[in-house]
Amino acid sequence: MHAVPAVPLAATTRGYPATGYTVENVHAGSIAVVDAEGRLLARAGDPQYQTFTRSALKPFQALPFLLSNGPEKFGLAQDELALLCASHSGEEKHLAGVRAILGKIGLDAGQLECGCGAPLYYETNNLPVPQDQAWTPLHHNCSGKHSGFLAWCRQHGAPTAGYVEPDHPLQRAIRAALADAVNLPESALPSGIDGCSAPNYALPLASLAHLYARLAQGSSDPRLGNALGPLFDAMTGRPDMVSGTERSDLVLMTAGGGDWVAKIGADAVQAIGIRSKGIGIAIKVADGNNRGLHTITYNVLDQLGLLDEGKRAVLERFRQPLIRNARGMVTGDIRSLFTLQYA
């Protein structure tokens, strides 16, 4: 059986406002929309496209901790639970939250194995990165997830050093929980080192969409409700802790008003669960270029009939954004190219 090819999803254009724009770049990819039972409802391109999930996997990397009642053991608050699923911006509230988690488990930032990096806040808000600042692992956008990793280690008496290694008990537990959640053998989950040094897994795009359809159902999920309920409530209750100022997941979950759970992943991955419709959406731009991802996301939501006037207003920035040069002149735009095909 031949794979369905990726299809053009978005284009960038160049021209003059007075005379019109010509397509300059085309970004192809695939989209899958499934229901909470895993049935494919709509697609563009290949819904079985093997996709490294990147940070869209974060809620599900927290499953072993949730399933063993870790948050209750350590008394994690909702904003701290949201950080376990976060690609945060390194704002002060994010740093304080990670410090609080580490304090509750009796560890410190020196034991985080995510590496150091400048906070995403600066790039997102078009601000210069301070050159006199010494960044620590706390500032890394994955430090919340890693604090959750360490919490599992403390709960289960596992070594806190080397917790990102694939054969560490934590990573074995995550791999087993993920394989069980997507009903695939562990051997069918290609793995690789993520940007934060932890293992990441590739899934068929429809399987990622199914995970988010189930996450959106929260405590109603028949198998994982005890974990997915608190995760959904934390992510939708504190989207500012999952993301950050002006970040896309915060904008999406704000528009969703508690009905949408959203998580972006590096290299142009986006996953969304819609509670009221019982569906999950997964998007992958094949070349990993994020430039058109938000416009693609907007148009998926629009074609599925999920945007009322209020949601359109919140998400208008994503619909067909203008491209400007260093002088602020409009040089083109980003536009959607696809039409969903319904199963």
Percent of the chain with pLDDT over 70: 99
The model's pLDDT over 71-101, given as tens digits with 9 standing for 90+, comes to 999 999 999 999 999 999 999 999 999 999 9
The model's pLDDT over 247-280, given as tens digits with 9 standing for 90+, comes to 999 999 999 999 999 999 999 999 999 999 999 9
Give the separation between CA 42 and CA 281, rounded to whole angstroms. Answer: 9
Which tokens in the block code for residue 240? 């500012």
Give the separation between CA 114 and CA 93, rounded to whole angstroms. Answer: 19
Which tokens in the block code for residue 123? 């790039």
Which tokens in the block code for residue 84? 């376990």
For residue 41, the one-letter residue type is: L
Give the separation between CA 200 and CA 91, rounded to whole angstroms. Answer: 25
Neighbours of 294 (CB within 10 A): 21
> Which of helix, strand or coil describes residue 20?
strand
The model's pLDDT over 135-147, given as tens digits with 9 standing for 90+, comes to 999 999 999 999 9
What's residue 3's pLDDT? 63
CA angle 311, 277, 7 (to 5 degrees): 75
pLDDT band at 117 (very low <50, low <70, confident <90, very high): confident
CB 63 within 8 A of CB 224: yes
Distances (CA, A) of 109 to 96, 104, 106, 120, 277: 11, 12, 11, 18, 40
The model's pLDDT over 315-326, given as tens digits with 9 standing for 90+, comes to 999 999 999 999
Average pLDDT, the chain: 97
What's residue 132's pLDDT? 87
The model's pLDDT over 193-207, given as tens digits with 9 standing for 90+, comes to 999 999 999 999 999
Q: Which domains can be identified in the chain, with CATH numbers?
A: 7-342 (3.40.710)
Percent of the chain with pLDDT over 90: 97
Give the separation between CA 205 and CA 51, rounded to whole angstroms. Answer: 6
